[in-house]
Structure 1
Amino acid sequence: MTDHVTPHYQEPVTWSALFHGRLAIYSMIFGGSVALHALNVFIATTIMPSVVDDIGGLEVYAWTSTVFAIISILSAAFASRLLVLAGANWSYVIAATIFSAGTLACALSPNIWVLIFGRAVQGLGGGLFYTLAYAVIRMAYPDRLWSIAIGLITVMWGVATLTGPAIGGVFAESGSWRMAFWAFVPFAILFGTAAFFVLPKRDKNRTTVEGLPILQIGLLIAIVLTLSVGSIDVTIKKASLSVAAAIVLAWILVRIERQAKARLLPKGGFSLKTSLGAHYACIALLLIGMQPEIFAPYFLQVLHDQSPLWAGYIGALMALGWTAGSVLSASWKGRKASRTLMIGPVLGVIGLLLQAWFLSLPSQGEIQVLGPICTGLIMVGFGIGVCWPHIVTRVYERAPATEQELAAGGVTTIQLFATALGAALGGMVVNLAGINTSDSAHSASNAAVWLCVLFAASPLLGVFAARMALSVQR
């Protein structure tokens, strides 16, 4: 196994390098805006029971998250075009304005439908924040700092994982869920204002921009919706038809993308025969393998006698593992960094198999059962985190010089799509396993086994994708 691309810089770098001179304000802007987006995700999830108790809408409870994720895909694809047209400074102003507008709609919502609309607008603004962070790293930082700057993004998600549920819980328990949304607005304004004055302006030498790949984005959304609809009142036949339809849509997407002028990914991004395409495949497979996390709190409550608070925080161990892995490996260079592409998916497979065995065993919370569950969750997240800065950096290095913004936006597009796809498939698996039957403990145990075993196939395929990414030269 060989790695044909030699990094330009081999000397070690430290986290303090992100806070020298002008880079300090850049790091605070992109890191703070990502933290704002991440906190919004965790706080909104925490307060939603209080929201529906106040304004109704339990029947469309999940829509607040689904719409948020789907619209985020749109913003990820749009970000690279926005950078060319408006520059980094105005792009952040636009993102902050959209995010604030959506947040205000949520805070003032008289019914669930207005709140769902607000969450959609939030998804557009928050998705821009997240995608622009990767683009600013590529534009404003020397390439020797790319991996460690990407690690800072992961740290911000880790901070949000630790603090978001607690903050949301305070607002929910005090009966002030609307204030949770109001609190975001001044911070969005602060980051937008700071970005306007310090981030790079539009490059006047670039006057043209590719169109938005509306058809491809529509197909991405259609794939997720097809699988989501297929998981309702699911049967083997219905699930098979849904998966087959999703595969057909994916085939159409690839055909259109290869011939389109306005593309989702840089040239070769959808082909495993290219190094760039193999790296994107690694990202997708790792993220799909992470999605059993969303069901962990439920299994912990039903099978292991955990309170909602403790179940939520144990479930968050996967995100914390991601943060720890990125912090550890972000400064690695050369072969040491390249090896993480193989280490990450291997840890993911082991972690999911641990969960398949122990998460399905009913207990009263004994350490001999909860210990391996926690270890498995951490291993999956750590596996992604340890290789994440280097996968993203290698995508930047392999993208054509004229498609760097597209490559940066493509990372987030693939990440968001893989997350939505994995969640839809996870819902289908647990429903097929009978999670909704009257015997909740037995059905939950059965669902936990099938979910974790089947999803272990994703990082296992990621091992082969990583081998290709490391061996293909271009």
Structure 2
Amino acid sequence: MSMTKDGRITEKSAPPQEEEGRWGELLQPNHLAATVTLCLGVALFAFNEFFISTALPTAVEEFGGAALLSWAFTLYLVFAIIGGALAANLKARFGARNTLIAAALVFVTGTVVATLATSMPQVLVGRLFQGLGEGVIAAICYALIPELFPPRLVPKVFGAEAIVWASAAFSGPLISGFLTEHWSWRAAFFVNIPAAAIFIALVVAIVPRQSASVRSSQSIPLLRLMAFGLGILLISVSNMLQNGFAMAALLVVAIAILINTVHLDRRSEHSILPLGAFAIGRPLGTGLWIILLMPLAQASGSVYLVYGLQHLWDFSPTAAGFSSALMAMSWSLTAILVASLRSHEARVRLISAGPLLLCLGLIGLTVAIATGEPRLVFAGQIAIGAGFGVCWGTLSQLLMDVSPAAERDKTSALLPTLQSAGYAIGAAVFGLTANLRGFDEGARVAVMRDALLAVFVIACVISIGSLLFGIRTVRLARSRRSTRSKARTQRPVAVD
């Protein structure tokens, strides 16, 4: 407002709102290098996951040691989570540029070790280093999004990363299978090396150096990191046991360790988790519950759906695998559509639609198994993919926005880490459920159907929990925005 010469109060026009970003801006010279760098960082994680899952069985045939196959995935996941938890601290101490270069070199070291391995234990060492490096890279790439792009382009960046994940899910197994079949399983590992070299060159070119004056001198919370890692490791190990009671006991111990570590972290002066993490009275806290629970529920399909399609309905491996590709394509397409919406408010309102679609998709899978109707599987997978696509990018941006500036790196780094933890916990929970219901390779079809039905019913219950948190997150976010708007309008009026 302002006062005219005759004493009348007039209202000044509001400053124009920043224009919504366009997809083409990501490819303009001032953003192209940053777009390629962050997408390549995500691609290293995504394609590596699908490449290795296809190539490792052939390595096992060459070396033997089939009992160690699951450990190749377990160690990768555990150290990726540890790396993600460590990322914000490393970024504060050494800067994003130095940390990304070091993490990429750790990843390359692991890749070289695995590529040149002559035994399965050497492959496991390589996977350990790959997971540690990739966990840091993925977390810091998330943290750099709001630093390298204006707010109007952030939804488009998340949409671009969704395209990367869909491309990896669709083409990763095909490329890896081709390389393994016509050359060697080692070729599927080796292709990560030139990709990592390009990534390092881009990081050197676009990520600014951090001056020594702003580097943090916080100590690295090794004990809490080790506790987090131990909890995830015990969860993964529990999924390998055959005895249901032993699985349940180990799972309870693991969850108790994780809960206790979170409580200790909240009281620490130098915490790993951002302030308000998992608090149900803050949008950050409820949003993080969604980030954990949605992948946890979806892990039911990731672990058992392809197996169920092959053994309940005699689908071929290709046809069964198409269901996973269908979910990834649905995720990608929906993410692009949502990122194209001009209204930020509309995107935020759609956050609760994500868990709802996930719940409906899982109900579809449950009904498909109960009735023996396979067509419902594909409809359910489309709904599940759309659920993630509708909310994931907007939710990630919202959580960064509601975090205090000093805590934003912790929040950004936590997102991919928590997602991986959700999948790990889900695999263990559903493995225990299926085990207790008699699931086994030699089980009769009726027993197998009963076990899978129990798995997906529990997944539906978990998805309902994510839906409740989704509704609450939208309400808290809108209430917070309304409070801030009122505070701005109630400020003292300046008189010109």
The TM-score, its normalising length taken from structure 1, stands at: 0.92
Deviation at 1:36, TM superposition (A): 2.3
Q: List aligned pairs for 1:149-164, cutoff 5 A.
A: 149-164=157-172
Asked if structure 1 preserves the Cα contact closer than 8 Å seen for 2:266 and 2:273, the reply is: no
Say if 2:339 is the partner of 1:335.
no
State the match for 1:42 in structure 2. Answer: 50
Secondary structure in structure 1 of the residue aligned to 2:95: helix
Q: List aligned pairs for 1:181-330, cutoff 5 A.
A: 181-231=189-239, 232-235=241-244, 237-292=245-300, 293-330=302-339
User: Deviations for 1:388-409, whole angstroms, at most 9, x for unmatched residues?
Assistant: 1111111111111112211111
Secondary structure in structure 2 of the residue aligned to 1:339: helix
The verdict on how the C-alpha distance between 1:468 and 1:210 changes in structure 2, with shifts beyond 3 A counting, is farther
Say if 2:29 is the partner of 1:21.
yes
Deviation at 1:209, TM superposition (A): 4.2
Asked if structure 1 preserves the Cα contact closer than 8 Å seen for 2:74 and 2:236, the reply is: no
Asked if structure 2 preserves the Cα contact closer than 8 Å seen for 1:228 and 1:425, the reply is: no
State the match for 2:462 in structure 1. Answer: 458
- Could you tell me how far apart the structure 2 residues matched to 1:289 and 1:412 are? 16
Of the candidates 439, 445, 448, which is equivalent to residue 444 of structure 1?
A: 448
Secondary structure in structure 2 of the residue aligned to 1:61: helix
Deviation at 1:187, TM superposition (A): 1.5
Deviates more, 1:245-254 or 1:394-403: 245-254
Asked if structure 1 preserves the Cα contact closer than 8 Å seen for 2:82 and 2:228, the reply is: no
Structure 2: 5+ residue runs without aligned partners? 1-15, 481-496
User: Deviations for 1:18-54, whole angstroms, at most 9, x for unmatched residues?
Assistant: 1222211110111122112211100100112211101
The TM-score, its normalising length taken from structure 2, stands at: 0.88
State the match for 1:4 in structure 2. Answer: none
Deviates more, 1:193-202 or 1:77-86: 77-86
Say if 2:416 is the partner of 1:416.
no
Say if 2:348 is the partner of 1:344.
no
Deviates more, 1:325-334 or 1:26-35: 325-334
The verdict on how the C-alpha distance between 1:226 and 1:89 changes in structure 2, with shifts beyond 3 A counting, is closer
The verdict on how the C-alpha distance between 1:390 and 1:378 changes in structure 2, with shifts beyond 3 A counting, is same
State the match for 2:173 in structure 1. Answer: 165
User: Deviations for 1:168-222, whole angstroms, at most 9, x for unmatched residues?
Assistant: 1112222511111112211211110121122222144312243333333333333
Letter in 1 for 2:214: R
Deviation at 1:448, TM superposition (A): 1.7
Asked if structure 1 preserves the Cα contact closer than 8 Å seen for 2:100 and 2:137, the reply is: yes
Letter in 1 for 2:368: F
Say if 2:136 is the partner of 1:128.
yes
Letter in 2 for 1:443: V
The verdict on how the C-alpha distance between 1:189 and 1:452 changes in structure 2, with shifts beyond 3 A counting, is same
Deviation at 1:358, TM superposition (A): 1.1
Deviation at 1:372, TM superposition (A): 1.3
Asked if structure 2 preserves the Cα contact closer than 8 Å seen for 1:354 and 1:372, the reply is: yes
- Could you tell me how far apart the structure 2 residues matched to 1:179 and 1:163 are? 16
The verdict on how the C-alpha distance between 1:176 and 1:59 changes in structure 2, with shifts beyond 3 A counting, is same
State the match for 2:391 in structure 1. Answer: 387
Deviates more, 1:461-470 or 1:224-233: 224-233
The verdict on how the C-alpha distance between 1:359 and 1:265 changes in structure 2, with shifts beyond 3 A counting, is same
- Could you tell me how far apart the structure 2 residues matched to 1:129 and 1:123 are? 10
Deviation at 1:440, TM superposition (A): 4.0
Asked if structure 1 preserves the Cα contact closer than 8 Å seen for 2:47 and 2:169, the reply is: yes
Letter in 1 for 2:392: W
The verdict on how the C-alpha distance between 1:465 and 1:216 changes in structure 2, with shifts beyond 3 A counting, is farther
Secondary structure in structure 2 of the residue aligned to 1:210: coil
State the match for 1:471 in structure 2. Answer: 475
- Could you tell me how far apart the structure 1 residues matched to 2:42 and 2:462 are? 27
The verdict on how the C-alpha distance between 1:334 and 1:182 changes in structure 2, with shifts beyond 3 A counting, is closer
Secondary structure in structure 1 of the residue aligned to 2:257: helix
Secondary structure in structure 2 of the residue aligned to 1:263: coil
Asked if structure 2 preserves the Cα contact closer than 8 Å seen for 1:107 and 1:182, the reply is: yes
The verdict on how the C-alpha distance between 1:78 and 1:244 changes in structure 2, with shifts beyond 3 A counting, is closer
State the match for 2:379 in structure 1. Answer: 375
Secondary structure in structure 1 of the residue aligned to 2:42: helix
Asked if structure 2 preserves the Cα contact closer than 8 Å seen for 1:83 and 1:202, the reply is: no
Q: Size of the alignment, in residue pairs?
A: 460
Letter in 1 for 2:340: S
Secondary structure in structure 1 of the residue aligned to 2:219: coil
Deviation at 1:247, TM superposition (A): 4.1
Asked if structure 2 preserves the Cα contact closer than 8 Å seen for 1:92 and 1:196, the reply is: no
State the match for 1:366 in structure 2. Answer: none
Asked if structure 1 preserves the Cα contact closer than 8 Å seen for 2:86 and 2:272, the reply is: no
Asked if structure 2 preserves the Cα contact closer than 8 Å seen for 1:254 and 1:270, the reply is: no
User: Deviations for 1:408-442, whole angstroms, at most 9, x for unmatched residues?
Assistant: 11112211211211112121122122111633422
Secondary structure in structure 2 of the residue aligned to 1:439: coil
- Could you tell me how far apart the structure 1 residues matched to 2:339 and 2:363 are? 27
Q: Which has the higher contact order (CA 8 A, sep 6+)?
A: 1
Deviation at 1:77, TM superposition (A): 1.6
Say if 2:66 is the partner of 1:58.
yes
State the match for 2:366 in structure 1. Answer: 356
Letter in 1 for 2:38: F
- Could you tell me how far apart the structure 1 residues matched to 2:329 and 2:219 are? 38
Asked if structure 1 preserves the Cα contact closer than 8 Å seen for 2:234 and 2:250, the reply is: yes
Deviation at 1:453, TM superposition (A): 0.9
The verdict on how the C-alpha distance between 1:223 and 1:27 changes in structure 2, with shifts beyond 3 A counting, is same
Asked if structure 1 preserves the Cα contact closer than 8 Å seen for 2:83 and 2:132, the reply is: yes
Asked if structure 2 preserves the Cα contact closer than 8 Å seen for 1:43 and 1:164, the reply is: yes
State the match for 2:97 in structure 1. Answer: 89
> Identity of aligned pairs, percent?
27
